[in-house]
Structure 1
Amino acid sequence: MLTPTAATASGQAAQTTRTTQNDLGKKDIFLKLLVAQMQNQNPLKPQDPTQMSSQLAQFNMVEQQTSSNALLQQLVDASSTQKATSSNGASYLGKNVTVQQDQINYTGTASNFSVVTDHPAAQAQITVSDSTGTPVRTINLKNLPAGGSNLSWDGITDSGAAAAQGKYTINVQATDAQGAAVTSHIEQSGTVDAVRFSANGTTMIIGGIASSQANITEIRL
C-alpha cells in the first residue's frame, strides 16, 4: 500500500512519463508527415526551397515547444517540492518536540536531558564538555533501565565552580553487566522557536540549538 507521499510521487512520475510519451508521439507523427510530404511533392520541384524552409521551421517550433514543456514541468515539480517542505517545516513552529541532540545551551539554569539506552545498562558515564572539547563535569550512573532516563546538569563543574554560560556537549558511554557496550544517545525536549530552510534541508531551533528535522523523535501539542 502506497503512502500519500509515495502515491503522489508515483502519480507525478506516471504523468511525466505520459507527457514524454505524448511529446515523442507528436514528434514521430510530424516526422512521418514531413517525410511523406517530401516523398510526394512535385517531382518537377524536388527541392522547393520555400517548402523546405517552411517544413524545417515547423519542425523547429515543435522541438522548441517540447523542450519548453519539459523545462516548465521541472520548474513546477521543484516548486511543489519546495512548498511541501516549507509547509511541513513551518508546522513545527511553537510545538514541543523531543530531538536526538547532544548539545545544550547553558544559560545559568539547570539543563534537562535524557539518556536513552537500547538495553539496560549496569554502568553509564555522562561527560559534559565545553566548546573546546574539554570535559567540565563527569557523572557516573548505575543500573539504567532500557529506554529514557531523565537527568539534569545544574551547571556545576567537577571542581565545584559554576560553569560559564554557553554551548556544551553531552556524551554518554554505557555498558551492560558483562562490560559490553550498550547503544545509547542523548535526547532533549523543548519548543521549536524558529525553522530555517536551506539546500541541506530543514533545521529547527530548539532552546538556541539547531537540530535537523530528521532528529525529531516526538512531537507534542
Structure 2
Amino acid sequence: MSLINPLNSAQSVGGQTQASKTSVAPAQQTNSSAAQAATTQSTADSTTGNPFIDSIRLPEESSIPEPNSQELTQEDFFSLLSQQLSMQDPFKPVDNDQMISQMASFSTVDGIKNLNDEIVNLNSVMTSSQALQASGLVGQKVLIPSDTGHISAEDPSINGIISTPEAIDTITVRIEDDKGQLVKSYTIDGSAGGNVEVSWDGLGTNGEPVASGNYSIKASGRVDGTSEELPVSTYAHVTSVSLGTASTGAILNLRGVGGIKLGDVLAVAESGSGNKPVVDAEP
C-alpha cells in the first residue's frame, strides 16, 4: 500500500487550479478583445472617416412616439361616458336626462364646428363667384362716390354726376389738379335739380389739353341763399378685377384711380354710351 502525500496532493491540486485560472484569464481577455473589436467595427461601419460626409448623414430614427392631439373627439366623449356608466353608484344611477343633456351638448359643439368649416368654404366659393361675375365689368365705366377722375390718352375727358338737394339755377364747377391748383372754372345749369350731369373735356383755360393725371371736379351752388359744396361722383374705367377676400368681396381696379369694392359702385355705364347709366346700384 502506498501513501499519497497530502501536501503533494494539495500542491498538485493547487497547481491545477492555478493552471486553470491561468488558462481562463486569457479566454476572458480574448472575449473582451472580441467585444471591443466588434464595437470598433460597428463604429467604423457607421462612419466613413470623412467628417463632412459623416456630418450630413441622416440621423437615426427616433423611437420617441409623436405626441397625441389634446383635442377631445367624439370617441373620447363616448369612452368617458362608458366609464361613467360602468363606475356609477347602483343606488344612485346617472339620471337619463343628465346623460342625454351631455350627449346633446357635445353634439351641438361638434355641429357648430362643422358649420363654421362649411361657412368658410361657402365664403370662398361666393368670393370666387362674385369675382367671376364682376369680370364682366372689365372695359366698362362705373360711377364711383369720388370727385377724382383720371385724364389719359385713352380717357381724355372726365364725366360725373353732381347731386343737388334742390333745383339750383347756376352751379359753379372747378377743376383742380392733384396738388389742389385750379385748372379751369365754368358754370352749368342745375335748374332740373336732383342728379345733374357734369363733363370736362380735359382742356385747360388756354384751350390746350392738360397733362395726364388725376383731376378733381368740385361743385358749389346756392342752397337756401347760402353757398354750399355739392357732392360729386365720377365715372372711371374698369381695367381688371381682383378676387379680394370674404370681407371685401371683389375689387374693381380703375384706370389711374385705384381699387374700389364692387359694393361701392353707384352705377354701371357702357363705354360708348356717353356714360349714361345702364345699371343703377341699389342705395
TM range (shorter): 0.5 to 0.7
Deviation of residue 159 (structure 1)?
4.9
Deviation of residue 162 (structure 1)?
2.9
Among residues 188, 191, 194, which one is paired with 2:240 in the alignment? 194
**2-structure distance, mates of 1:70, 1:34:** 26
2:198 counterpart of 1:157: no
1:18-57 aligned at under 5 Å gives the runs 33-40=82-89
What amino acid maps onto 1:176 in structure 2? V
Deviation of residue 121 (structure 1)?
2.3
SS in 2 for 1:94: helix
Among residues 227, 232, 255, which one is paired with 1:185 in the alignment? 232
Q: Using a 3 Å threshold, how does the CA distance of structure 1 residues 74 and 93 change in structure 2: closer, same or farther? A: same
2:121 counterpart of 1:79: yes
Match of 1:100 in 2: 145
What amino acid maps onto 1:37 in structure 2? S
Match of 2:36 in 1: none
- Unpaired stretches in structure 1, ≥5 consecutive residues: 1-22, 42-62
**2-structure distance, mates of 1:197, 1:172:** 35
2:164 counterpart of 1:117: yes
Q: Which has the higher strand share?
A: 1
**2-structure distance, mates of 1:130, 1:183:** 18
Runs of 4+ off more than 4 Å: 29-33, 65-72
Contact 2:175 2:184 in 1 (8 A): yes
C-alpha offsets along residues 81-113 of structure 1, whole Å, 9 cap, x if unaligned? 132133123312233443333221101422222
Between Structure 1 and Structure 2, how many residues are aligned?
A: 174
Contact 2:127 2:244 in 1 (8 A): no
Among residues 216, 219, 226, which one is paired with 1:169 in the alignment? 216
**2-structure distance, mates of 1:133, 1:86:** 39
RMSD (Å), alpha carbons = 3.7
C-alpha offsets along residues 64-86 of structure 1, whole Å, 9 cap, x if unaligned? x9988755543331221132133
Q: Using a 3 Å threshold, how does the CA distance of structure 1 residues 70 and 121 change in structure 2: closer, same or farther? A: same
Contact 1:121 1:143 in 2 (8 A): yes
**What's the TM-score, normalizing by structure 2?**
0.49
Q: Using a 3 Å threshold, how does the CA distance of structure 1 residues 146 and 135 change in structure 2: closer, same or farther? A: same
Q: Which has the larger radius of gyration?
A: 2
What amino acid maps onto 2:240 in structure 1? A
**Percent of aligned pairs sharing the same letter:** 16
**2-structure distance, mates of 1:104, 1:182:** 18
**What's the TM-score, normalizing by structure 1?**
0.60
What amino acid maps onto 1:118 in structure 2? P
What amino acid maps onto 1:102 in structure 2? D
SS in 2 for 1:133: coil
